[in-house]
Structure 1
Amino acid sequence: MENEAAMIVEIAIPELNSVPERFPSHWPNIILLGNRPDEYKIHAIITTYVRLVEGAYVHYKNAQRLVQAVWNNHDSLAIGSHNLSAIYFEDCINSMHRAVLCMKRIRNNREVPASLRNMFPDTPHFTKDAIANRIRDIRDAIQHMDEYVLKGEIPEGKTFMLTATGPETPVLDPNQPNQTLKRIDRLTIGDAEVLFTDLVVWLHEMGKCAESISKYERPS
């Protein structure tokens, strides 16, 4: 595709279709069938995890749709879609961070029924420090950037909202002189960034864990 500036743009934001966007079986399972842990505090944390993952999925898909609108719009700069996509991506990251905290507590809390804990991988990859810290760092960058904005401490040209962007490289084609290719493959804010390919892997695993929770059957 090509925008008004004749720059070629490749949108490399993977689809998130590996698990359902929502986990509808969870709600009748706990409300109508009573398949929930006896301890209310355990019920609260696993339900919080499911709704946060649902939220992260919805935010990601809404943001992806808006990014497509930004670069496929030939009539205007689609600033509104650009700004709203940033909000959705920020909400996605925030929900993911909170979901990580919930899953860590679920995995480490011996009051959580073993029958439920055993439905997850031994240690979900997104709860390990290497990944959990990356999600947290992006979440922190979003929060700290607000502080810098309020204090008027943003350097000229610094990205102050979570933006879908990527590298721009020359097109090596003699028939397209001075042409460039911009690949939208990551989110950046300030000096922090995360690739969409990584984000989708983490969301996929979070969704698989949410699916397991939605299938929980209370021991008779």
Structure 2
Amino acid sequence: MHIKFDLPDAPLKPDVFAQYWLRSIFICSASTRYEINALTSTYVRLVSAALVEYEEGSKRLRDFWATHTSFNLSAMHRAISHFESCIFNANRATNCFRRLRGDRLHDPIALALRQQKFSFSQDAIADRIRGMRNEIHHLEDSVLDGLITQGQNFALRPDGPEVPHPTEENQTVKTIDRLIIGPHEILFRELRQWLQEMTDAVSKIAEVLPSSSPPAKVPNAV
């Protein structure tokens, strides 16, 4: 069996993350409302974490298949753990984003996020991320409660289609291109696109924050 990957690199972590934290901590909070500040900081933190987990999961997955002198099972276990954490963080980030964008008091951050269409926040995609997250969580409960059935998958797994090799007899080509658990599947290309959109939303948020402190007021001359 020959192995191919359809596993795009993680989106680059632009300076926008550092920009957001520097501006929000040292210059001005994202909003005059504490609730919005909490949601915004949580969203930015979770997106950054999801990017790291996707990148680490990708590295460990490639390590597993690139090891030919031994059975590098620990690399696969770490890849699964990283991708599970990525899905959990992406789900939580999506929840924060939707709450921010739907702010009923029309905070400037909410208005900025409404200027662009983000597919990851649409119901169809948000439900897929949430569905995979829930399946991971519920399967763990089933394992702990002794409800797992014979042959049932009990962990997220990287997988993909396997087809006959075009030139080598009795050989196949397997393309690792997705995450699967139970009935839920997410292509790596899809996940990468959603993470990029989440990062773009962080850029939108950072643009709302001032880049410098307001000038100090000069007292009126007597």
TM-score, with length taken from structure 1: 0.89
Q: Structure 1 residues 132, 169: closer, same or farther in 2, change over 3 A? A: same
> 1:123 deviation in Å?
4.6
1:93 maps to: 87
Once the two structures are superposed, residues 17-60 of structure 1 have per-residue CA deviations (whole angstroms, 9 ceiling, x without a partner) of: 35538711111101111142111111010110000000100000
* Equivalence for 2:195: 203
Partner of 2:112: 119
Other-structure match for 2:218:
none
How large is the RMSD of aligned CA atoms in angstroms?
1.9
- Which stretch shifts more, 150-159 or 47-56? 150-159
Of residues 38, 62, 68, the one that matches 1:68 is 62
User: How many pairs are equivalent?
Assistant: 211
Structure 2 residue aligned with 1:217: 209
- 2:180 partner SS: strand
3-state DSSP class of the match of 2:186? strand
* CA–CA separation in structure 1 for the residues paired with 2:8 and 2:28: 36
1:1-21 superposed Cα distances (whole Å, 9 cap, x missing partner):
xxxxxx100011111235538
Give the aligned partner of residue 79 of structure 1: 73
Indicate how the Cα distance of structure 1 residues 22 and 166 shifts in structure 2: closer, same or farther if over 3 A, else same: farther
Shift of 1:112: 5.0
Aligned to 2:220: none
Contact 2:11–2:192 at 8 Å: present in 1 too? no
C-alpha deviation, 1:130, in angstroms: 0.8
* Larger of the two Rg values belongs to structure: 2
Amino acid at match of 2:133: R
Percent sequence identity over matched residues? Answer: 34
Helix, strand or coil at the partner of 1:37: coil
Alignment-mate amino acid for residue 118 of structure 2: P
In 1, Cα distance between the equivalents of 2:99 and 2:141? 29
> Hey, what's the Cα distance between the residues in 2 that align with 1:68 and 1:27?
32
Q: Contact conserved, 1:21 with 1:54, CA < 8 A, in 2?
A: no
Structure 1 stretch displaced more, 13-22 or 207-216: 13-22
Question: Take 2:164 and 2:128, find their aligned partners in 1: how far apart are those partners?
Answer: 30
2:184 to 192, 195, 218: 192
1:157-172 alignment to 2 at 5 Å?
A: 157-172=151-166
SS at match of 2:35: helix
Contact 1:159 1:190 in 2 (8 A): yes
Q: What's the secondary structure of 2:105's corresponding residue?
A: coil
| CA contact 2:102–2:110 (8 Å) conserved in 1 | no
Provide Cα deviations, 1:86-132, integer angstroms capped at 9, x if missing partner.
Answer: 11101100111111110111011133523x22322455221111111
204-213 or 50-59, which moves further after superposition? 204-213
* 1:32 paired to 2:26: yes
**What is aligned with 1:4?**
none
CA change 1:134–1:62 in 2 (3 A) is same
Q: Which of 137, 143, 147 pairs up with 2:137?
A: 143
Q: Distance in 2 between matches of 1:112 and 1:25?
A: 23
Unaligned runs of 5+ in 1: 1-6
Whole-Å Cα distance in 1 between the matches of residues 150 and 178 of structure 2? 21
- Normalised by the length of structure 2, the TM-score is 0.88
Give the counterpart letter for 1:214 in structure 2.
A
Match of 1:180 in 2: 172
Query: d(CA) in 2 for partners of 1:126 and 1:58?
Result: 18
